[in-house]
A and B are shown apart, each in its own frame.
Chain A
């Protein structure tokens, strides 16, 4: 295996400057030079550049960003919109929030470049409402950019006009799904739409729309500035470039690690000081709670889209939630499913009802009141949930259930045999690890 993967700070490279979020600081580290360069190019050439870079969406699904841009129909007379998905809510995912807190201008610059590339003059940043200071930082950055002529009319004297609106959500995980986000932005309940038509054809106000994740858009300025070969010098052939790997849970030094795609958990754990002292890895999510869990069997799985998929999970948002041997997997999964049941928008019956019933079954399993047949019941519900709703929320809920039964079936049965949870939950807390 590769022993030489190192970190590659790009988006986080200036975060240790106390003023990193200001326009002055961002400009002193080369900020907005990529916009200047982009505005000298033909918009279609920018779309090709991003397409050829191999940048894939950083919001979880991994769809090629440039390809999304190229899908906007050329003959549609409606205005075009860019919508940035800053509704970061997938359990475990914690990269876009610190990015917007520390370096909002790299997102604003990316918004300007992407809008120019797709010939849009109106962009929205839909940020979840529960992060007040991040909303302030974004609005502060947007205001600074307007004042400096980097947004607004006749940007940098090129005749390109762009308005950017920072829009705060109001608490709904489902709005991270792009069509639910668009409904929410239009002032409705955030419920997913049937696709097709995809947003590229009929998105915001039924107009051609590109919806991209924060990290995807924030990666664009560096690609424009440094070129395709620079970007593809990092990562793997099909998973090019760099990304945030967010380590949380039972690790010695949790945090953000910006690295080439394809790095392994073993390498990342080594950088993070390993599992917390005196404990060992039990299970982890490669990309948030909607991605099937992994175990110590997968320490050397390259964390790129293809390798994680081949190993039975998904790269998702690279949200590595790490749990040691003190953690009860039944409790962990039960809590995640309670989340999906709470956040299911209710539109599709399999997701609404399936999650409701999985909560009931998992509760009794955790309390040692179920039977072994409940495991088959759970798998049956998953079978009736997976792929049967408008969006992927329900699909995501099946991931922790099915993967935990696959790897930890005996632990479920232990609950039944002991008539309750065999774990002391206090030992998994931050302050209980030494017991």
Chain B
């Protein structure tokens, strides 16, 4: 593989890079989004991608490599069109994440951090993705697929390989590709922010109970008498 982008690719990406760099008071802050940008181009961070980032920021390839290899979301080999992450941190593992991960490995015939031969699906076990009340959790291209089972996860990857429509539990109306996802991470909107649900059921559990029982935060206009306090800042 060539260690530099073609002139056409470079010219196109330089426009994006300028826009990214302009967001920050100091240009080096643009490095993480730039790495997401080159990952959006090739599906992973190649030596050409590293070279491009280094050129944009006046860094050496070694300086960029040091950063790229620190963060787990930057891939050193091409990821699948759909990158599947199964949470196997303690809570999800106990709730069934281990069984899901094992069954996907067997079903797809690939191991951790590997990609199916058709290039469609790559598999990885991931750490806690902040959705513990939806355990066990599977991520595809960093969209939430909540409350999974081994069977639902196997159907999910089958659908992905067959090119069927797959909709995240809490996400946009359509699952985007790995490259498209990386471009969003680089800070370029895909216009899908208003799509999808506002909250999953567990997110609403407390609120629904409060509504049912008539529980609310105190009314600021009818606070219980407090012990002698200093001057009031609030009011209506």
Q: Which residues of A are at the interface with B, using a C-beta cutoff of 8 A?
A: 6-10, 12-13, 15-22, 49, 52, 79, 88-94, 96-98, 101-102, 122, 128-133, 135-137, 139-141, 143, 165-173, 184-190, 205, 225-230, 232-234, 242, 245-249, 253-259, 271-272, 289, 319, 321, 323, 327, 331-332, 335-336, 339, 342-343, 345, 425-426, 428-432
Contact = CB atoms under 8 A, between A and B. Distances in A.
A187 B198 contact: no
The list of the 8 closest CB pairs from A to B, nearest first, reads A227-B234, A140-B193, A255-B205, A255-B202, A170-B71, A187-B31, A248-B132, A171-B73
A172 B71 contact: yes
Contacts of B216: 8-9, 13
A187 B30 contact: yes
Contacts of A79: 25
Contacts of A167: 29, 32-33, 187
B206 A12 contact: yes
B220 A102 contact: no
A283 B136 CA distance: 19
Given A135-B185, A168-B36, A129 B220 contact: no
Interface string B149-160: 100000000000
A162 to B, nearest CB: 14
Given A136-B190, A428-B94, A15 B198 contact: yes
Contact of A93 (B94, B130, B144): B130
Interface stretch (B2-10, B113-121, B168-176): B168-176
Given A130-B73, A227-B233, A18 B198 contact: yes
B209 A271 contact: yes
Give the secondary structure class of B's interface: loop
B199 A169 contact: no
A233 B224 contact: yes
Nearest to B59: A187
B36 A229 contact: no
A321 B90 contact: yes
Contacts of A13: 207, 216-217
Nearest to B217: A8
A254 B205 contact: yes
B10 to A, nearest CB: 21
10 contacts: A12-B204, A12-B206, A15-B204, A20-B198, A79-B25, A135-B185, A253-B202, A254-B202, A256-B206, A257-B205
Interface stretch (B11-19, B95-103, B104-112): B95-103
B229 A429 contact: no
Contact of B94 (A102, A136, A184, A332): A332
B184 interface: yes
A248 B131 CA distance: 9
Interface string B44-75: 00000000000001000000001100111110
Contacts of A233: 218, 223-224, 226
B166 interface: no
Given A91-B90, A133-B143, A168-B187, A430 B133 contact: no
Given A21-B198, A89-B127, A230-B223, A429 B96 contact: yes
B96 A255 contact: no
Given A129-B36, A139-B189, A229 B207 contact: no
Given A92-B132, A186-B28, A259-B206, 11 more contacts: A13-B216, A18-B197, A94-B132, A130-B126, A130-B129, A132-B142, A168-B185, A169-B71, A227-B220, A227-B232, A230-B234
Contacts of B141: 132
A425 B136 CA distance: 14
A430 B130 contact: no
A166 B20 CA distance: 11
B215 A89 contact: no
